[in-house]
Amino acid sequence: MNPIQSFLKSYNGAAVAHNLFAPLILQGIIITIILAILSQLTGAIIGLILYFMRRARLKPLGWIAEAYIWLFRGTPLLVQILAIYLATSYLGLARPLQASNIFVVLGFDPTGYATALRPFISGFIALALNEGAYMAEIVRAGIESIDPGQMEAAKSLGMTYWQGMRRIVLPQAMRVILPPLGNEFNSMLKNTSLVFDISLYDLLGAAEAIGSPSFLTLELLTVASIWYLVMTTVWTFIQSAIERRFGASTREPGGGKFNWSIFALPDRLFRQSAGARI
């Protein structure tokens, strides 16, 4: 029997099928998706904040931002995750976080499997901080791609810098930012798997938890890989749908129906309150 034959003989295909929809795996998928979305959104906000710190008149803010980006892009993500996990214990947060369960916090508990908040929060903080350093460059490229004449026109009409940013520059920069942001999220979905090292039952953590004791490690890694592929493939479709909606791929101004509600929301609130006063 050659090595390939012996491998095929020992590989338990039935175990893959059997565990593909195991409750712990499905719970792991939910954790992975929640962790990825939270980290990506927070990372994008951190990236935006870093952009404004870099161009602030107060120079030390810019230096802090540069140091931050240098640090988080220059060290391994896994090191950052481990460091922040350990930091929670130095800060005295380990015990209270360890005691509470993510799904109790979320209000439902599919497996009853203890899923402590401590690795989740630590992983989230590390992923978001790391992502922020990368998003800073993407946000900068997006904003700087907009013709300076746009801000000048906004200012000439009496808008302040922030009004011009929020109403004129950022909605346009969004088209430029969206494609790389989508790619970042694709990476994020997979980078979340590093948190299994601080014993979070994310998708990879769940696969390890089932696979190791039953000597089905490779089979459960296959299960995890199938689900990662499903997630990234679905995301690819969602991403192109979003980009179409925002006209990002057509490059034609006004090509997409444009309503970036995050930016529009404060106006709606303001208008309602203004109406109430009248």
Partner 1 sequence: MSQATATAMVDAQDVHKYFHQNEVLRGVSLQVKKGEVVVIIGPSGSGKTTFLRCINHLEKINKGRILIEGEPMGYREEGGKLVEDREKNIARMRSQIGMVFQRFNLFPHMTALQNIMEAPIQVKGVPREEAERRARELLAKVGLSEKADAYPARLSGGQQQRVAIARALAMDPKIMLFDEATSALDPELVGEVLKVMRQLAEEGMTMVVVTHEMSFARDVADRVIFMDGGVVVEQGKPADIFSNPREERTRTFLRKVLEAEA
Q: Does 114 bind partner 1 (CB under 8 A)?
A: no
3-state DSSP assignment of residue 104: helix
Q: Does 178 bind partner 1 (CB under 8 A)?
A: no
| Total Cβ atoms within 10 A of residue 64 | 15
CB 140 to partner 1: min, Å? 20
CB 164 to partner 1: min, Å? 9
Q: Does 64 bind partner 1 (CB under 8 A)?
A: no
CB 83 to partner 1: min, Å? 40
Q: Does 110 bind partner 1 (CB under 8 A)?
A: no
* Residue span binding partner 1 (CB under 8 A) among the ranges 122-130, 180-188, 225-233, 254-262: 254-262
At residue 185's C-alpha, the angle toward residues 130 and 202, to 5°, is: 80
DSSP code, position 216: -
Residue whose CB is less far from partner 1, 144 or 152: 152
Residue whose CB is less far from partner 1, 157 or 262: 157
3-state DSSP assignment of residue 214: coil
The b/e string for 151-185 (b: 16+ C-beta within 10 A; e otherwise) is beebeeeebeeeebbbebbbbbbbbbbbbbbbebb
Residue whose CB is less far from partner 1, 95 or 268: 268
* Residue span binding partner 1 (CB under 8 A) among the ranges 38-46, 78-86, 132-140, 249-257: 249-257
CB 81 within 8 A of CB 39: no
Query: In the numeric block, which tokens belong to residue 41?
Result: 């959104």
Q: Does 163 bind partner 1 (CB under 8 A)?
A: yes
CB 179 to partner 1: min, Å? 17
Residue whose CB is less far from partner 1, 116 or 165: 165
* Residue span binding partner 1 (CB under 8 A) among the ranges 4-12, 146-154, 213-221, 222-230: 146-154
Q: Does 269 bind partner 1 (CB under 8 A)?
A: no
**Of 79-108, which residues contact partner 1 (CB under 8 A)?**
none
DSSP calls for 23-41: HHHHHHHHHHHHHHHHHHH
- Alpha-carbon distance of 207 to 18, in angstroms, equals 12
- Helices (H) and strands (E) counted in the chain, each on its own, are 14, 0
Query: In the numeric block, which tokens belong to residue 175?
Result: 């088209």
3-state DSSP assignment of residue 252: coil
Q: Does 144 bind partner 1 (CB under 8 A)?
A: no
Q: Does 264 bind partner 1 (CB under 8 A)?
A: no
- Of these, 1, 14, 274, 276, which contacts partner 1 (CB under 8 A)? 274
Cα torsion through 82, 85, 90, 92, rounded to 10: -170
CB 171 to partner 1: min, Å? 5
Residues lying near partner 1 in the complex (CB under 8 A) are found at 147, 149-150, 152-161, 163, 167-168, 171-172, 252-255, 258, 271, 274
